[in-house]
Amino acid sequence: MTTAIGITPDVSLVKTSSQVRGACPHDCPDTCALLTTLENGVAVKVQGNPDHPQTGGVLCTKVSRYTERSYHPERILQPLKRVGPKGAGRFEPVSWDSALDEIATHLKGIAARNPEAIAPYSYAGTMGLVQAEGMAARFFNKLGASLLERTICSAAGGEALVQTLGGKVGMKVEFFAGSQLIIIWGSNSIGSNLHFWRHVQEAKRQGARIVCIDPRKTETADKCHEHIALRPGTDAALALALMHELIVNDWLDHDYIAQHTVGWDQLKARALLWPPARAAEVCDVPVAQITGLARDYGTTKPAAIRLNYGMQRVRGGGNASRAIACLPALTGAWRQRAGGLLLSSSGMFPINKAAVQRPDLLAGRWPRTLNMITIGDDLLRDSSPGFGPKIEALIVYNSNPVAVAPESGKVVQGFEREDLFTVVLEHFQTDTADYADFILPATTQLEHWDIHASYGHTDVLLNRPAIKPVGEARPNSAIFRALAARMGFTEPCFLEDDETLCRAAFSHPDGDKVDFSELLDKGFATLPIPDAPFAEGVFPTPSGKCEFFSARLAAQGLDGLPDQLDNHETAGSSGEFPLAMISPPARNFLNSTFVNVKSLRDIEGEPLLEIHADDAAARGIPDGAVVRVFNQRGSYRCKAEVSKRARPGVVNGLGVWWRKLGLDGTNVNQLTSQRLTDLGRGPVFYDCLVEVQLDEAAAL
Ligand SMILES: Nc1nc2c(c(=O)[nH]1)N[C@H]1C(S)=C(S)[C@@H](COP(=O)(O)OP(=O)(O)OC[C@H]3O[C@@H](n4cnc5c(=O)[nH]c(N)nc54)[C@H](O)[C@@H]3O)O[C@H]1N2
Ligand SMILES: Nc1nc2c(c(=O)[nH]1)N[C@H]1C(S)=C(S)[C@@H](COP(=O)(O)OP(=O)(O)OC[C@H]3O[C@@H](n4cnc5c(=O)[nH]c(N)nc54)[C@H](O)[C@@H]3O)O[C@H]1N2
Ligand code: SF4
Ligand SMILES: [Mo]
């Protein structure tokens, strides 16, 4: 019998020290450095590494309970094979050998006809460069499986940054502490970017003004000097009106604009079409808030914008992100280290992706690409010349698509297909795992090696295994390695161990970009990035300048300038579904991760829809009533909370609950749509009209 081989824990460390250094694997900008305390080989405590300045010894509530997750009684400890109907969640344990043999036989049969009928489905359950798309990418590249556009979170904003600044680059997060004005735009920092909030508090102590731009009155908005509660999907209008005011009041840095930007005349003409009164109407906020913010932004130095992905999950999310990303160049905010903008820092890491993922294994093939957002539609498609082969096998890892992908009615229908072969690598029996033919037990971050970049700071972190794999769990890397062997893949790269993959991540022909021995010693290493990276322009765009006008977008037949685009679904366009629904993250979950950790679920309570008192009264909905939230795509039942956090016309369905823990076995994504954003082919989770009714059955 094969034992749980996986990767050997770092025995020397386990023996000589009671603490092991690691990295938080979750999809969170903070990428904290962890210290795991061991007693007799058992992890008894996970805490923040006090030596790592970005972590400051503090973790969020979720991860400070990480041992509860790793040793959770419901962890999947053995490979499981389906015995009931799809979705019933009935499985029997099988040995690793028999699971892997059967999976490989199945995949070989499909690959012999057309490997593109096999599709990976993965996202950011772990952000580690090895356990995310390391050995897995090698496996799918060699196989010639369909490629996956990993768009479900940040694609519109990411593309906007590429087109405007040249990449996912921006301010160094620590310098927000020195700003005099911080605009928190589309982000609930206290809930989802806690370590950034520490810098805000420091700035506040030094007299900075803090403004929050968010349709929801979040816990972050509560603690800011001002909250601008605009309608979802109207951020570009606001940004253009700010530009209008900067222009008419001449709060511009003419020298910075002349030297370091392209397309100023065109952008100026566009912005002058947006007087504050026009934007105030589109955004549904008072004119004075817009003119006041413009004055603050135009006259305060240093001024910094913390943009986050919440504002780009609407049709015009790309354009809005572009409009906002233009602002710091107009005022020359980039000149100071505490000025500028940060959406994501991930583009600042010199990762050697090719060394880890080995795209050369495609050997000249260019398989079709699926967009993970439209998995619902795609699973229901037959073969066609435009689409390619019908999807016959899906291998899911680091993701829970049945809960997190939009229009889940269709996703479920797809996963229910009897002729679909589904393998799910997981820690738990999630909504997705319920539909698997095989569930393979994966290790958690305490049990494997990995190396991490970050999208909220600029340090590289190493994660060492602290404990032996729980049960028979194996790292994703080990599972794909074993599958590769059974598929007959003989390239030496399939034999490389995880530490070698970690070392490859920052290796380059001209020398390593990160000192691996420093990582082994300290657990983290800081990238050598200038304090004010764009003080002298030199943006990584083709022109080397901040591109107000993007010739690359224009060449694609798109607008070269940012503009306000209406949502796909705008209130008023149809009387049937008059409320806009957004579904932002809950503080004690991480997307759908942690929903099954009882102590955290108890804090969140149950799935809730926040609704403004006027909207509730118009529908006869008392606080705490069970409501039906519905639109043309489906219906979802949950409890209503008449709440000051909701603005009129907008309801907030905090996500992302496991469907099976909701009232009807559904969640908010029953209502969201598979349409895409203007740029980057991203998701539009917050561009979704609904109606809400008192649930008469529940009221009886
Ligand atoms: N605790 C916790 N932390 C998390 C996550 C989590 O689920 N829980 N998720 C992680 C992930 S996956 C990501 S991508 C990151 C970033 O995560 P984001 O998804 O950006 O999350 P938030 O920072 O919560 O910000 C979203 C905010 O945007 C607001 N918003 C919605 N629509 C609009 C709009 O049209 N305009 C504007 N201006 N605001 C809008 C929402 O009300 C919400 O407060 O956070 C990560 N951190
Ligand atoms: N309505 C609505 N939907 C949303 C969002 C929203 O704001 N509103 N947010 C969207 C965003 S921003 C994102 S990023 C996506 C997130 O979508 P996903 O990336 O799918 O995130 P999770 O729901 O956290 O699921 C990750 C899964 O990976 C598993 N996992 C973790 N580590 C490992 C590992 O090492 N190996 C294996 N095999 N599995 C592992 C976890 O147990 C978990 O079940 O959701 C999106 N969906
Ligand atoms: S989820 Fe974010 S805040 Fe929490 S420990 Fe991980 S990186 Fe830090
Ligand atoms: Mo995300």
Compute the residue count for the chain. Answer: 700
- The confidence band for 699, taking pLDDT boundaries of 50, 70 and 90, is low
3-state DSSP percent of the chain in helix, strand and coil, to 5? 35, 20, 45
Give the model's pLDDT for residue 4.
35
Task: Using pLDDT thresholds of 50, 70 and 90, give the confidence band for residue 576.
Answer: very high
Question: Residue 515: what are its φ and ψ, rounded to 5°?
Answer: -80, 105
DSSP codes of every residue in 170-186: ---GGGGGG-SEEEEES
More confident residue, 572 or 58: 58
Looking at residue 285, its pLDDT comes to: 98
Ligand 2 atom at shortest distance from the alpha carbon of 313? 7
Q: State the fold for domain 156-343.
A: Dimethylsulfoxide Reductase; domain 2 (3.40.228)
pLDDT, tens digit (0-9, with 9 covering 90-100), for 610-635: 999 999 999 999 999 999 999 999 99
Contact in structure between 639 and 606 (CB atoms under 8 Å):
yes
The domain ranges of the chain are 80-153+359-526, 156-343, 579-699
Sorted by sequence, the CB contacts under 8 Å of residue 366 that are 6+ apart come out as none
pLDDT tens column, 431-477:
999 999 999 999 999 999 999 999 999 999 999 999 999 999 999 99
Return the ligand 1 atom nearest residue 234 CA: 35
Task: Look up residue 270 and give its amino acid.
Answer: R
Which mutation among 62, 123, 187, 192 tests ligand 1's pocket best, with the greatest number of atoms within 8 A of CB?
192
pLDDT single digits (tens) 295-315: 999 999 999 999 999 999 999
- pLDDT over threshold 50, residue 27: yes
| DSSP of 187-226 | --HHHH-HHHHHHHHHHHHTT-EEEEE-SS--HHHHTSSE
Distance 191 CA to ligand 3 centre (A): 10
Q: What are the beta bridge partners of residue 582?
A: 652
Confidence of residue 574 (pLDDT cuts 50, 70, 90): low
The amino acid at residue 700 is L
Token pair belonging to 260: 């370091």
* Cβ count near 409 (within 10 Å): 15
Q: How much is the pLDDT for 448?
A: 98
Copy the structure tokens of residue 601: 């679920």
Tens digits of residue pLDDT in 522-538: 999 999 999 999 999 99
| Ligand 2 pocket residue status of 442, Cβ below 6 Å | yes
208-226: pLDDT as tens digits = 999 999 999 999 999 999 9
626-646 burial: b if 16+ Cβ within 10 Å, else e: bbbbbbebbbbbbbbbbbebb
> Which SS3 state, helix, strand or coil, does residue 684 take?
coil
Instruction: Evaluate if residue 572 carries a pLDDT over 80.
Output: no
C-alpha neighbours within 13 Å on the C-beta side of residue 412:
18
Q: Which residues contact 510 (CB under 8 A, 6 or more apart)?
A: none
Among the residue ranges 201-210, 565-574, 593-602, the one predicted with the least confidence is 565-574
Residue 3 confidence class, pLDDT cut points 50, 70, 90: very low
Residue 99's SS3 state is helix
Determine the Cα–Cα distance for residues 449 and 477; give it in Å rounded to an integer: 10
Distance CA 483, CA 108 (A): 11
Measured CA distances, 270 to 70, 247, 253 (Å): 53, 11, 18
**In the structure encoding, which two tokens stand for residue 160, read together?**
């906007």
> Under DSSP, is residue 233 helix (H, G, I), strand (E, B) or coil?
coil
Residue 17 is predicted with a pLDDT of 55
Mean of pLDDT over the chain: 96
* 312 alpha carbon, closest ligand: 1
For residue 31, count other CB atoms closer than 10 A to its CB: 26
Pocket of ligand 3 (CB under 6 A): 24, 26, 28, 30-32, 59-60, 62-63, 194, 590
Coil, strand, or helix at residue 617? helix
C-alpha 398 to ligand 4 mean position (Å) = 13
- State yes or no: pLDDT of 13 exceeds 50: no
* Nearest to 591, CA basis, from 151, 125, 59: 125
User: Rounded to whole angstroms, how far apart are CA atoms 584 and 631?
Assistant: 19
- Averaged over 415-426, what is the pLDDT? 98
* pLDDT for the residue 464: 97
pLDDT for position 332: 98
Scan for tokens 């109207």, then name that residue. Answer: 234
What is the whole-number distance in angstroms between the Cα of residue 153 and the centre of ligand 4? Answer: 4
Q: Does 441 sit in the ligand 2 pocket, CB within 6 Å? A: no
* 575 confidence band (pLDDT: 50, 70, 90): confident
Contact in structure between 444 and 471 (CB atoms under 8 Å) = no
Best substitution site from 27, 31, 32, 591 to test ligand 3's pocket, by max atoms within 8 Å of Cβ? 32
Q: Which fold has domain 579-699?
A: Barwin-like endoglucanases (2.40.40)
Report the SS3 class of residue 597: coil
Identify the weakest region by mean pLDDT among 16-25, 90-99, 562-571, 636-645.
Answer: 16-25
pLDDT tens by residue, 232-270: 999 999 999 999 999 999 999 999 999 999 999 999 999
Atom of ligand 1 lying closest to residue 589 CA = 8
Confirm if 182 and 200 have CB atoms less than 8 A apart. yes
Q: Fold for domain 80-153+359-526?
A: Rossmann fold (3.40.50)
- Rounded Cα distance, 188 and 586, in Å: 10
**Over pLDDT 70: what percentage of the chain?**
97
Q: Which of 8 and 52 is assigned the larger pLDDT?
A: 52
- Render pLDDT for 150-171 as a digit per residue (tens, 0 to 9): 999 999 999 999 999 999 999 9
A 10 A CB-CB count for 555 gives 9
Q: How far is CA 513 from CA 62, 402, 527, in A?
A: 32, 38, 8
